[in-house]
Structure 1
């Protein structure tokens, strides 16, 4: 099978002007500088004056991109801000010219990039629908056949004869997506512009993209930071990092690599180093805390579909009884989610604490915490008597939505902080 998109040696460079940072200027300073510049512009050359040198720096937004995409593939392009995702789509859409290499696309191309592209602002919604069809190479009869479907999907019937420059961003996106999806393109390029729409319309768009890809066999390239939508919609992933392809392949594998990148620094903390003098030691105290994924690797971002582990190293400096270890998880806005105690699973630990260094692991189950950001607090104490060692909001981590049944809902926080399946019995 021949690829429908072939990219070879693609690169895009921008020239960035650099120089010394200017100090803060008042309005009076700005007026004075403008007047002086005017005088220097006319007389400076006569006085032998020279303009201040300007420096430019070359920045590669994309570099050496090589890939082939085949008909019917649904490809998710992921990466952190500034990785080059939107630049790649703009080049494929012929909005931006590459600096090096080439991108060859076969068939009709429809793209939905940032709000404000694709339509003529002075034309009405009706006129823009027909103009878009002409750009795609369709005949007016073909556009008329799809017209009612487009209007019904976009829900803008009342504003069809209004110039789109007067549309809200949500109305604009609804119409733009409806046009792009219904005019039967061979290739559909979608940037994360859908975030502008409301949750109901986003679900509608996802359903349409699934229909376009799976039932109509179209090729879709989709850029998003929402890993749940990416894994739900796409079968293949491309992970861009600093303008280059870091990994491509099965979407779940690519998403996992993306989540594990650049996050290990926040996943480990040393609380009390080894080698403390005896007089400086508490009766029981924590040495380190680490968070690890299901593969045993340090991370602070976790796929909601897999368990992860909080590893504690602690030292008992004196023989103790009734010494408890506790761990609390809070949301990033301070709402307690749960507290767990070591004695919950091992009541014998309260009877006697042996002197020495010990390790313990707390397993956080898969599909338990809702996607979001969380904080960890730990403590060593004798319940209701004294606190030996305590660390509030010690370390943070994030649970990432990667394809649960809740992925279709945009505001997870309104659904609670944990996921649990309860039996519903029909009377």
Structure 2
């Protein structure tokens, strides 16, 4: 029995995007263009080419030159920014989308949960869809019936089991779809960000179920922007950037590399806000460690550069959200808490000073928010990474900041 469940070699997916470069301005021109389009499309159909709208064609590679293997029992996190090709990869592996080049060899039965309602017939009831999905996986009615109670109990849709799925809410559809996919014993389970639709309690149940699936020797591929879930669940990860595989390794290594795309402790910002307001830069200043960044227990300044249009924006307030490595918000630093606003200028800087940085050693993420009268002007999620080194926060002569006890250090004494 082979240990390689998924083998990808030279995989690529290309889309051809058509652009209509000519717009008809009269009825006569419109009829002429319609006739020309029909003639052109007929010729392309006879030649077996893809039909496109217009004469200008853009070639877009959603995936290119991917090569990796997934072993039996692995839980693999697929990491990357929006548009990196994560969902396209899962669709290709699930045989929903055909690759343009290369191959993906799948060993064993695969169940996929990619989008709300995927794999469900909207006119069939929940019960009928369970049997339909089991049949697609090659299971007999007796095998499906043996799993039915477990599926229904896990999904929590017992009252609506004989209701057509088209009348389900998105959350109900996701709960039932995941329960079906996880309990019908596929050898490979593929899950996209769709779990984010469920409530927090169901997400916890789902993560626990995927871990159980892996312990049973089955394989899981999961796409999620929740880094905490990925770290808790996955052992390995793959990083996609603009359709290309840039890294494989442990999930910690992959997420660290992904976070490192944001220059640690100093970054230039090019994203724009509204009304001419935008952040332009962020840097961390720490006298205790000028070369490498912040130190636990040492003074630390966060300096934000910004630009505004004084004619449209009169005064500003700022917020900084601090997130841990799992994406959990630890705290927020807000100028409004001090009744502090800043006059609008074409360019400016604002400095946030911390007497003693209370964060344990590790990497954190900063979110930035610029506001006018309580309304958001510019918001940047994951604007920069903040690297913190161990320091003598408690003043005991020993290094504080063991991340095993948590990300925050609290000043205290014993007597």
TM-score band by shorter chain is 0.5 to 0.7
Q: Which has the larger radius of gyration?
A: 1
Question: How many angstroms apart in 2 are the aligned matches of 1:164 and 1:209?
Answer: 24
CA contact (8 A) 1:291 1:308 kept: no
CA contact (8 A) 2:4 2:69 kept: yes
Change (3 A) 1:368 1:121: same
State the Cα distance separating 1:373 from its structure 2 match: 2.1
Aligned residue number for residue 253 of structure 2: 253
Question: How many angstroms apart in 2 are the aligned matches of 1:243 and 1:369?
Answer: 26
State the Cα distance separating 1:420 from its structure 2 match: 6.5
State the Cα distance separating 1:55 from its structure 2 match: 1.1
RMSD across aligned C-alpha pairs, in angstroms?
4.2
> 1:42-53 alignment to 2 at 5 Å?
none
Question: How many angstroms apart in 2 are the aligned matches of 1:42 and 1:146?
Answer: 56
CA contact (8 A) 1:77 1:240 kept: yes
Aligned residue number for residue 64 of structure 1: 65
Report the secondary structure of 1:4's partner residue: strand
Question: How many angstroms apart in 2 are the aligned matches of 1:21 and 1:296?
Answer: 56
Deviation per residue, 1:280-323 (Å, 9 max, x gap): xxxxxxxx97238999678xxx9xx9x996578xxxxxxxxxxx
Aligned residue number for residue 359 of structure 2: 365
Aligned residue number for residue 283 of structure 2: 290
> 1:132-151 alignment to 2 at 5 Å?
132-151=133-152
Question: How many angstroms apart in 2 are the aligned matches of 1:106 and 1:34?
Answer: 56
TM-score, with normalisation over the residues of structure 1? 0.64
TM-score, with normalisation over the residues of structure 2? 0.65
Report the secondary structure of 2:4's partner residue: coil
State the Cα distance separating 1:260 from its structure 2 match: 1.0
CA contact (8 A) 2:366 2:382 kept: no
Question: How many angstroms apart in 2 are the aligned matches of 1:289 and 1:111?
Answer: 41
Q: Confirm whether residue 173 of structure 1 aligns to residue 174 of structure 2.
A: yes
Question: How many angstroms apart in 2 are the aligned matches of 1:98 and 1:118?
Answer: 20
Aligned residue number for residue 398 of structure 2: none
Q: Confirm whether residue 38 of structure 1 aligns to residue 31 of structure 2.
A: yes
State the Cα distance separating 1:135 from its structure 2 match: 0.5
State the Cα distance separating 1:167 from its structure 2 match: 0.8
Deviation per residue, 1:131-163 (Å, 9 max, x gap): 100100111111011000000111111111111
Question: How many angstroms apart in 1 are the aligned matches of 2:189 and 2:66?
Answer: 20
Question: How many angstroms apart in 2 are the aligned matches of 1:44 and 1:67?
Answer: 42
State the Cα distance separating 1:367 from its structure 2 match: 7.8
**Structure 1 unaligned residues grouped into runs of 5+:** 23-29, 46-51, 270-287, 313-327, 346-362, 377-392, 401-417
Report the secondary structure of 1:62's partner residue: strand
Question: How many angstroms apart in 2 are the aligned matches of 1:331 and 1:252?
Answer: 22
State the Cα distance separating 1:267 from its structure 2 match: 2.3
CA contact (8 A) 1:268 1:291 kept: no
Question: How many angstroms apart in 2 are the aligned matches of 1:217 and 1:3?
Answer: 12
CA contact (8 A) 2:282 2:384 kept: no
